[in-house]
Amino acid sequence: MPNSPLYPESSQLTAQRVWQTNHPTTPKSAIDQPKAHQPIPHQPIPRKPVTATTSAFSTTNTIQSTSTMQPSSPTKTATATDPIVKLVDDLLIKAVELKASDLHFEPYERTYRVRFRIDGLMQQVAAPDIALHSNIAARLKVMAQMDIAERRLPQDGRIKLALTEDRQIDFRVNSLPTLFGEKIVLRVIDPLSSMVGIDNLGLEPQQKLLLIETLQQPQGVILITGPTGSGKTVSLYTGLDILNTQQVNISSVEDPVEFNLHGINQVNVNHKIGLTFATALKSFLRQDPDIVMVGEIRDLETADTVIKASQTGHLVLSTLHTNSAATTLTRLHNMGVPYFNIATAISLVVAQRLARRLCSLCKKPTLIPATSLIEMGLVAAVHTANSHPESTQVIYEAVGCEHCHNGYKGRIGIFEIIKIDEGLAQIIMQGGNAIDIKTAAIEQGFFDLRQAAILKVLQGLISIAEMYRVTTN
């Protein structure tokens, strides 16, 4: 089997994979649906579906190295010969190899498509025969321990995939009844990709210092903000990992807990029984805590409890769905938190985005005048452009090669960070708006998301196109 340098683990993945589910074999009912093209277990694959599914792999043009997918598994179970089982197994392993974050199985009136989200963007990877859609959905639901008879209501489940003895990947599974059948979406929960280390997040050196300094404070609130998919969870876990020592008690409440962090008391939100972020946090405060993490601040009750925890001597880490660091502070006020509490309790606000990294093997250098950098928003370029009007900078463009996805490979965080010092606290207490806060922050050396992204462009890490994509609201 060719061992692509992009996915060096692939041969290991296919050789040692083992499904961990309560249903190691496909129950008959999963594939005995009264449908056409019903595959019969342990028999040769029916001609048409096989052509449809295998050609779907080989004709995929957006994803490279599909050949590494062909499992040559020595640990085949009896069900591995079933075409649906094999198709689903292959897709899950392919998703891991391609470092996809989500897998979408989507039935339409006449077609069926499988798309992966890779580096933040959706890409089609297969188009199995539409006649297979209910069998594929049933197989996924069996693996996720969901009720296969229930096709009219959404359901949640989980699939555990052991890649090696000490590496396991989980898939969080959700089914949704759409007009033409059940759409199944899997979110990949990979502990390795969630623990990148503080040096690999994408923080500029001064931002990293600010974050570490604030993490070492005994109390205060650190807020990580940004839209869904901006990497907030990875940043939170990175912070917790730094704090996680024998000497401190750390508790976290999450919705849901994505993966286990050894040494941290993790609690899942459970709305059905009233276990919310706020109720869990109140319990934490009665359990002798040092550090608490609250998955998200969504309402005033949670915000108030977080502020109170900070004011009573605890370090709190949390997230908020806001666009920028400065608007986060005004958002808290709009939720009903008094200015005084915001100014005294919040210590650091981080806003972030994820940008696709340029592939280092094929990126193409090009020159850009310093004046263009000013037009894009890089304040630091003003001096260069004024003293050397003809000056240019080398930047890179995406090209695309066999080792990347359209010129991009992996992602990097883009950050803006505001530390609430005394001056800023005064402005907040006086009811300053987001512009006042940002102006004062710039005086402390703050740079915003756009400027942080331009720095990444100048470092050759991202393209201009990607800078605009992730920093245009």
Closest residue to bound Zn ion by CB: 359
Nearest distance from C-beta of residue 467 to Zn ion, angstroms: 19
Is 288 in a helix, a strand, or coil?
Answer: coil
CA pair distance 343, 162, nearest whole angstrom: 47
Residue 108 beta carbon to Zn ion: minimum distance, rounded to whole angstroms? 32
- C-alpha 294/C-alpha 316 separation (Å) is 7
Length of the chain: 473
Cβ distance to Zn ion smaller for residue 359 or 373: 359
- Report d(CA 83, CA 383) in Å as an integer: 64
Nearest residue to 189 (alpha-carbon basis) of 169, 217, 214:
169
To Zn ion, the closest distance from the beta carbon of 364 in angstroms equals 10
Sheet with 18-20, strands from edge to edge, namely 18-20, 155-164, 167-178, 181-189, 100-107, 112-118, 121-126
Closest approach of Zn ion to the CB of residue 407, in Å: 6
Report phi then psi at 124, rounded to 5.
-75, 135
331 phi, psi to nearest 5 deg? -60, -40
In the complex with Zn ion, the residue whose CB is nearer, 117 or 405, is 405
Angle at which helices 277-284 and 300-311 cross, to 10°:
20
Shortest spacing between CB 422 and Zn ion, in angstroms: 48
| Six-digit token string for 334 | 């709009």
Q: Per-residue string for binding with Zn ion, 379-418, x by CB under 5 A?
A: ----------------------x-xx--------------
Fill in the amino acid letter for 441: A
- Within residues 331-370, the interface with Zn ion by CB under 5 A covers 359, 361-362
Please state the closest distance from residue 452 (CB atom) to Zn ion, in A.
24
Give the number of residues in contact with Zn ion, rule: CB under 5 A.
6
Q: Which is nearer to Zn ion, 234 or 358 (CB)?
A: 358
- Angstrom distance (rounded) from CA 41 to CA 44: 8
Among residues 292, 290, 288, 257, the alpha carbon closest in space to that of 278 is found at 292
Query: CB of residue 102 vs Zn ion: minimum separation in angstroms?
Result: 23
List CB contacts of 439: < 8 A, sequence separation 6 or more.
Answer: none
Residue nearer to Zn ion on the CB measure, 83 or 407:
407
In the complex with Zn ion, the residue whose CB is nearer, 404 or 461, is: 404
Looking at beta carbons only, is 84 or 359 nearer to Zn ion? 359
CB of residue 122 to Zn ion, shortest distance in Å = 20
**118 lies in the binding site for Zn ion (CB under 5 A):** no
For Zn ion, which is the closer residue by CB, 331 or 411? 411
Q: Identify which of residues 88 and 398 has a Cβ nearer to Zn ion in the complex.
A: 398
The three-state secondary structure class of 22 is: coil
Q: State the DSSP H helix or E strand holding residue 185, giving kind and residue range, or none if neither.
A: strand 181-189
Q: Which residues bind Zn ion (CB under 5 A)?
A: 359, 361-362, 401, 403-404
